[in-house]
Structure 1
Amino acid sequence: MGIKKSICMFVLLLTSTAQGQIFTEHIVVKGNTLYSISKSYGITVEALQEANLQNSGTPLSIGDTLLIPAVDNPVPIEEVQQPQITAAATEESGYEMYKVKKGDSPADLAKEWGFTNMRAFYRLNPDARSDWKKGMILVKPVLSGTLDQSTIDSVSTIDSTDTAVSTELIDEVKILGLLPFFLKDYINQTPLAKRSPLALSFRQGMELAIEELNDSTRSISVTFADTYNQTDSLRLVIERNPLDSFNLIVGPLYSKRVLEISKYTQANKVVSPLSKNSDINALPLQNSSVAEEYQWQAIIDFIQERREQGEVLLPVANGLRTHQTLIVAQSKEETDTAINRIFSVFDNPQLIKVTEGWKENERLAFLDSMVHYDLIIYDNDPAFMLDVLRNLRAGTASYTWYTVGHQIVDNGITQDNFTREKDVMCAFSSYIDYRSEAAMTMVQSFREKFGAQPNDYAIKGYDVAQFYVRKLTEGTGEYRGISLGFKPNEQGKNTYTELRVFQDLEWRKINP
């Protein structure tokens, strides 16, 4: 237990160049996971997933060919100007500005300033949840009464008209779809040609939704353009299709192009539909992909709510079993950051930091059997996660495993891994129940229109168009599509999550 198995690998590597893009082909062999492959090439899992969207939603198979993007310098982006404070904070306003110092943590400041829960603190300082750092400016209540006001949900955090999302309803919507069709590669059958069907599927889903939404109350039109996946091609597309001519821009799909389009003045009209790059959450555009931190926050809130409702004690044959939070993570800088920020709400959690070789995981087999552990594995390496669970099953301790969609979807964790666990709960932001009436209706309509079965990207394109058109024409604030859920915050970043428990070989929804 706790020892990584080394697997001899034979990897066929083919380096190619297409239209200025350098990539490497990797042939999947036994033991490969997205995490291990990305680590061996020095890229992130998200970058690997973006380069191989055609493999999303299906487990890796031996013999699969993956495209490995070249590691290059980040695209230079003009700095996004933050709203400026035009007047000095005064005591009469009830608030003052506070500059974060070394050693500060959200939990410590919230307690010092008199907040009764972290949710109220984060409502007043939303950036503290996702971008905590020394030197950042926080809003601090200084008068009695202002602390109560800070817990109101309608507190505005955006003052700049350049970044705020418009709430004015319209009855005519002009959409620009910026998708990487890779038409030249598709025609010439280069290695990049396999990316083309993804954008085509996404487009078909959008077209079906637009057809359904066009009625006597609104008029919707869409223009699609091939962004390829290059700086020059995106610039040319925007020159030919000025952004101020459209009410909604869907795309680009890839992170680098999304980062580039954020510098344009009409960026608040842009919806990044699929990218999971965390940098996008700091940009003045809308994002339909939910950041991992929001999923973890849903898990934390659920654990806290269960405890507040008196479920801290569970009856057992020989007494009462108390709950304790157990966090297992590999020892690295991001672990310390998460403990101080994301998981700071937990009182005295048991933390096991694991070093190289994972020998510390062996301690999990000897945990106190009189305690029920709320288990959080803060690491997306599937091999590490499975090693933690294997050691826990070797002991007698009772535990509930709390996970998030970013951890287990497209990451090599298969259904049989969940069947071995007695209690697993997951915060999802995307889930398809094909037995639902809405899903069956959409699938049937897609078949009738296109003569094919909709894939995951067609369904996501359908959901994205449905929500953002409804948002512009009806003022819809929250929406559950066939696959995606939407609950944008004031900055236009999607925060939708739903909790599901694994029972009878399926994920069953447990929250409204």
Structure 2
Amino acid sequence: MRLLLTVLLGFMLAVPAAVRAGAQEFVATPVEISADKVNVKGSVYYLHKVLKGHTLYSISKAYGVDIETIKAANPSLSEGLKAGMLLYIPEKPSGTAEATAAAPAVQPRRDTVQTTADERGERTAPQGKTKAAKQKKYKKYNIKWYETLDDVAVKFNVTTEAIIALNGIDPDSGKRIRAVLIPDSAYMQEFRERAPQAGTGNAGTVQEENAVLPDKRTSVTDESVPAEAQAWEWDVTPDLSGTDRCITLILPFNASRLTGSLNAYTADFYAGAMIAAADLKEKGLFSNFHLNIIDINRYGSAWELVADNALNGSGLIIGPISERDMQPIASWARSKRIPVVSPLDLKTASLLQDNPYLYLFPPQSDLALDHQLDKIAEASHSSDTTESVTVIYEQGYERSDIVSQTMSGLAERGIPFKTFKYDFLSGRGIDSLMSQSLDSVLVNRVIIPSMSEAFITDALRNLSLIQSSRGYSIDVYGMSRWKSFETVELDYFHALDLRLAMSYHIDYNSPAVISFIDKYRAAFNTEPTSFAFQGYDIMTFFVEAMNALGRDFPDGIAGVRRSLLQSDVMFEQTEPGSGYLNTAFKDICFTSGWRILNE
């Protein structure tokens, strides 16, 4: 009996200990604040990727946003939180803090703060600024990275000119402004009384100075539609011929057989294409069209699909997505003179030779460098002033393909250039040597042919230092992959007006993008992926082409540039009698106003 009691007592003591030990084995996955942000309808959201072990509670605590607000921004959460989801997390608004105007609005750090007009001995702010600053207290507002002075003015119901006057800002500096003092009602009334009436010809005011200071990047009326694309718009009207047209969409839908990252997202591609078809129908552009949807996984191979006569009657074929399946489809379509679109797989470029009916929609990444060189040549030849071009690359990589292609490409375009190479591990002080390869007076167009994140970080840091401390004018041209770098300070991108040629770029402020996202959420209760955008773009582009160009659309779309939701499109033949490559890229520029513009 004593032995039994001893065993029972030991078991009772061991169970709680085991439970505690078991409980201690669970460690919640920490939630890290995302570095990715998007601006949607003027509101800024973090793009947070859900990891295994995350909960809505832990996410809301990490971001300081309540759970209901997160749910409201993400309708897909009605089906539960799942690992791999992308959530829109509203940025927590930062309040304004009281600060005396006697202190400088921005502390004089040369690498981040604008130089005032008084310090430079140039234009001066309106009289009364110093007196007002000394006698009153104003709210200090820390400008968010995505905001401009115009945004701040609208937020506080004041004018941009009044902010400039109160803070002594030089509109010419182009430097990032981190914080400003906000004019109050008394200052606004005084400022309006001082402001000259329209047509008085008083040439000393900030208002009139601003009127003659256009910015070459912000003069575009609609940032979502590049000026170049606007010049090439089709006259898209419904095709009234009454001819029935069949668009065949070939995708793998059998989930049990899906393999590879491309196939895994074909359902998203299909969903995006269906929303495009609905939008086109609303515009009267789909009345003569019908869709023939084929699940290629129902067949043993693409050859069996062709033999089954499933493609007969097609006026356009979109898909399949892989090069292996595309080969027999493209060969058959060529014999029937039916256009075929390769929607996703860049490897299908090998099938373009001798097939003038094949269109490769995604741009080839190796064309991006040539595109950047063309942009430099265009800017250099169209500029009214002489400019300096410099190639900066990592020491030891002189003979790399990307460096050689850059130098030979500039030479072929007749652009004189300087070079500067260095080892980024050599330590500080490189900026002094680098500045010798730049011009202190002219606009410096700098291209850095490198994919090394460490080297790019160091090169941009030195260029930013040269620009801020020496006053050099520098525009940098880079590679699209830089946008995915995690250790590069985005400050450098914006300070140096970095220009990238992107195969895909989504402007979340575009009304068309916002409309698509809203419709996708309503239809599928989730967020659209890049594959959904791709499906929408391809369906929209080719249906509009068939309406605008009729029977001649296979030849008529060559050389026509269109700007779509996430892609720009301009098809060109690689050689006579061959298929068509998409040679267009989204040209984006990170500007000093913490905005990303489509150029």
Greater fraction of residues in helix = 2
Say if 1:365 and 1:393, in contact at 8 Å, map to a contact too: no
Partner AA of 2:477 in structure 1:
Y
What secondary structure is seen at the aligned counterpart in 1 of 2:293?
strand
3-state SS of 1:489 partner: strand
TM-score normalised by L of structure 1:
0.54
Higher Cα Rg, which structure: 2
2-structure distance, mates of 1:332, 1:282: 28
Cα–Cα, structure 1 residues 463 and 422, in superposed 2: closer, same or farther, change >3 Å? Answer: same
Q: CA deviation at 1:401?
A: 0.9
Shift of 1:246: 1.6
Question: Relative to structure 2, which stretch is displaced further, 482-491 or 337-346?
Answer: 337-346
Cα distance, 1:464 vs structure 2: 0.6
1:389 maps to what in 2? 460
Residue matched to 1:266? 334
Is 1:211 matched with 2:278? yes
Q: Which protein is richer in strand relative to its size?
A: 1
Q: 1:424 to 1:223 in 2, by over 3 A?
A: same
Instruction: Give the drift of 1:482.
Output: 1.8
Structure-2 separation of matches of 1:221 and 1:497:
31
Partner residue in 1 for 2:363? 290
1:145-167 Cα distance to aligned partner (Å, 9 max, x none): xxxxxxxxxxxxxxxxxxxxxxx
Residue 486 of structure 1 corresponds to which residue in structure 2?
Answer: 569
Match of 1:506 in 2: 595
2-side partners of 1:332 and 1:360: how far apart? 24
Give the corresponding residue for 2:444.
373
Residue number in structure 1 paired with 2:210: none
2:345 is the counterpart of 1:275:
yes
2:581 partner SS: coil
Alignment of structure 1 residues 312-351 onto 2, 5 Å: 312-313=385-386, 322-328=387-393, 330=397, 331-333=399-401, 335-341=403-409, 344-351=412-419
- Structure 2 unaligned regions, length at least 5: 1-46, 54-82, 85-240, 550-556, 574-578
CA distance in 1, matches of 2:428, 2:366: 25
Conserved 8 A contact 2:247-2:315: yes
- The yes-or-no answer on 1:178 pairing with 2:250 is yes
Q: 1:303 aligns with which of 348, 357, 376?
A: 376
Q: 1:232-291: per-residue Cα shift (whole Å, max 9, x none)? A: 633333333554532222223345544665444538622122234494585432012123
By how many angstroms is 1:197 displaced? 5.1
> Where does residue 469 of structure 1 map in the other structure?
543
CA root-mean-square deviation: 4.3
Q: TM-score, normalised by structure 2?
A: 0.47
Q: Please say if residues 373 and 409 of structure 2, whose CA atoms lie closer than 8 Å, have aligned partners that are also in contact.
A: no
- Secondary structure of 1:301's counterpart equals helix
Distance 1:239 1:409 in 2: 45
Structure 1 match to 2:505: 431
Amino acid at match of 1:223: N
Mapped partners of 1:62, 1:439: distance in 2: 27
Higher RCO (CA 8 Å, separation ≥ 6 residues): 1
The residue number in structure 2 matching 1:458 is: 532
Question: Secondary structure of the equivalent of 1:465?
Answer: helix
Write the distance in 1 (CA, Å) between the matches of 2:330 and 2:384: 46
**Quick one: distance in 2 between partners of 1:199 and 1:246?**
21
2:585 to 479, 497, 509: 497
Please list every run of 5 or more consecutive structure 1 residues that lacks an aligned counterpart in the other structure. 1-57, 67-168, 187-191, 314-321
Deviations 1:97-119 (A, max 9, x none): xxxxxxxxxxxxxxxxxxxxxxx
Secondary structure of 2:478's match? strand
C-alpha deviation, 1:483, in angstroms: 1.6
Structure 2 counterpart SS, 1:266? helix
Q: Percent identity?
A: 18
**One-letter amino acid matched to 2:598:** K
Equivalent pair of 1:244/1:266 in contact (CA under 8 Å): no
